[in-house]
Amino acid sequence: MGGHPFLRDGVDFGDVLLVLGIVLISFVLCLIATMLMVWFERKVVSRLQNRIGPNIAGPFGLFQTLADGIKLFFKEDLIPERADRKVFQLAPYLSLIPAFLTFTLVPIAGDFSNVSESGTAGSSTIFGREFLWQGADIPSGILFFLAMSSLGIYGIMLAGWSSGSKYPLLGSVRASAQAISYEAALGLSIAAVILVSGALSTNEIVQAQSGSLRQLNIVATGFVPFIVFLLAGTAELNRPPFDLVEAEQEIVGGYHTEYSSIRFALFFLAEFMNTVTMGGLIVTLFLGGPAPLFDFPFIDIMPTLGWFGGFVLFFGKLLIFLFIFVWFRATLPRLRYDQLMDLGWKALIPVSLLWLIVLGGIRIAQNGDLNIFDSTNANVALVLVASLVLGAVGWALLRAAMDTARDERLKEAGLHLTPVPAPAAQNAHAVSSTEGAGH
């Protein structure tokens, strides 16, 4: 890779125009996708709950979101008296801008079976200029996603804090705790992808996966990072079942309780934009983005279709994940706070850490840097056995630590675990069921 196609032989006016065009088009695309996502979610959730959903405005109720948006624009814009005015006004943009910037990372189309003369795959040419089907192919691109998702939290945190009222503050404290907890698992599963693909830019990650089913990262990383990413990603989006941030039964609307009108619309937009982007990133990282899942056995169809084939493939894969997100929301009850923390810290982080070590070990064995046995397979097997033992020891240590901590807490509360008399058993249970509250 010799850097971005635009920068190869100097920048001229045409390049600037093209970049502006791409940015504008991806912004519009992003907005339209977000609008459709809102409609899709409402429609699917309705169907899953035996309702019909929006069906009046436009065909199939497609324009309902537009109507809601226009209504929000014309509502009165309120700022609470006790709010920190500047931060209150800043917060929606801190939420929206990172959401949009992340979208630029996702390659949405392109023919990845075809590597152009300059060594870039998935590019097309317009007016003699080569470009990629994504807003920007940033070097170390996937880190940019982590950077933006950690900045997106500020929007939520500051919105809750600056509102100057109780429930939003509770929501934003929850949001930051949740984001900090799940970012580690998210980062570790991305690290597994980087390790296998050997690249940081999203274009190269897709390129590394195009070809066969075995090269897809979902297979090549062994499925576990994919599951971790899906769960941690859902938590990062604050979507159900991880939506404690805006749990309406407990804290009204969480961080956006005090927001109305266009500012609320911006938060809403950012949330759904993030959902679409997260779906797109899962497709990019694990399912080869616009590249086909496997070689079509009889006809070589991709070069004929060009970039459009890539777009259809990407969109199809994206739709699956968007449906999964909606499905999660319609089926799973919200997690309790201690369950949320347990899942993040005691399950996802240890599992993804162990998996990263296993993948690294296998890679070293395959590269021939580990020469204990003569055959590569034996070395890989050795790595696997060693990692299993390591994992077992680690798990035992974690369990021991958790049990000790629990015993300590019970002792502090004046209760003893063994032997448990009948009436005290109920108490002990009550304590242990709220044990996560102290985390």
Partner 1 sequence: MAGVVVFVISTVIVLAGALGVILYRNPVHAALSLIASFFGVAIMFISQGAHFLALVQIVVYGGAIVVLFLFVIMLLGVDREEDISEEPFEGQRVSALLSGVMIFAMLMGGIFLSGRTGDEAGDYGQAAITGSTGQVVPLTEEEDVVQLGHDLFTRNILAFEATGLLLTIATVGAVVLVRNRGAEDLVVDEPGTASR
In the complex, what is the shortest distance from the CB of residue 173 to partner 1, in angstroms, rounded to a whole number? 6
Task: Write out the chain in H/E/C secondary structure.
Answer: CCCCHHHCCCCCHHHHHHHHHHHHHHHHHHHHHHHHHHHHHHHHHHHHCCCCCCCCCCHHHCCHHHHHHHHHHHCCCCCCCCCCHHHHHHHHHHHHHHHHHHHCCCCCCCCCCCECCCCCECEEEECCEEEECCCCCCCCHHHHHHHHHHHHHHHHHHHHHHCCCHHHHHHHHHHHHHHHHHHHHHHHHHHHHHHHHCCCCHHHHHHHHCCCHHHCHHHHCCCHHHHHHHHHHHHHCCCCCCCHHHCHHHHCCHHHCCCCHHHHHHHHHHHHHHHHHHHHHHHHHHCCCCCCCCCCCCCCCHHHHCHHHHHHHHHHHHHHHHHHHHHHHHHCCCCCHHHHHHHHHHHHHHHHHHHHHHHHHHHHHHHCCCCCCCCHHHHHHHHHHHHHHHHHHHHHHHHHHHHHHHHHHHHHCCCCCCCCCHHHHHHHHHHHHCHHHHC
89 lies in the binding site for partner 1 (CB under 8 A)? no
151 lies in the binding site for partner 1 (CB under 8 A)? yes
137 lies in the binding site for partner 1 (CB under 8 A)? no
390 lies in the binding site for partner 1 (CB under 8 A)? no
**Of positions 131, 144, 267, 314, contacts partner 1 by CB under 8 A:** 144
Stretch that binds partner 1, among 63-71, 138-146, 251-259, 283-291 (CB under 8 A): 138-146
40 versus 145: smaller Cβ distance to partner 1:
145
In the complex, what is the shortest distance from the CB of residue 20 to partner 1, in angstroms, rounded to a whole number? 18
318 lies in the binding site for partner 1 (CB under 8 A)? no
170 lies in the binding site for partner 1 (CB under 8 A)? yes
257 lies in the binding site for partner 1 (CB under 8 A)? no
Of 235, 266, 264, the residue nearest 97 (C-alpha): 266
31 versus 200: smaller Cβ distance to partner 1:
200
Q: How many residues bind partner 1 (CB under 8 A)?
A: 35
162 lies in the binding site for partner 1 (CB under 8 A)? yes
154 lies in the binding site for partner 1 (CB under 8 A)? yes
1 lies in the binding site for partner 1 (CB under 8 A)? yes
In the complex, what is the shortest distance from the CB of residue 89 to partner 1, in angstroms, rounded to a whole number? 13
Site string for partner 1, 35-74 (x = CB under 8 A): ----------------------------------------
Stretch that binds partner 1, among 81-89, 120-128, 215-223, 226-234 (CB under 8 A): 81-89
**Of positions 101, 121, 158, 218, contacts partner 1 by CB under 8 A:** 158
353 lies in the binding site for partner 1 (CB under 8 A)? no
For 252, phi then psi, to 5°, come to: 60, -95
**Of positions 33, 159, 179, 380, contacts partner 1 by CB under 8 A:** 179
270 lies in the binding site for partner 1 (CB under 8 A)? no
Task: Give the Cβ contact number of residue 217 at 10 Å.
Answer: 25
403 lies in the binding site for partner 1 (CB under 8 A)? no
153 lies in the binding site for partner 1 (CB under 8 A)? yes
Q: Footprint of partner 1 on this chain (CB under 8 A)?
A: 1, 3, 82, 84, 87, 138-140, 143-144, 146-147, 150-151, 153-154, 157-158, 161-162, 164-166, 169-170, 172-173, 176-177, 179-180, 183, 199-200, 412
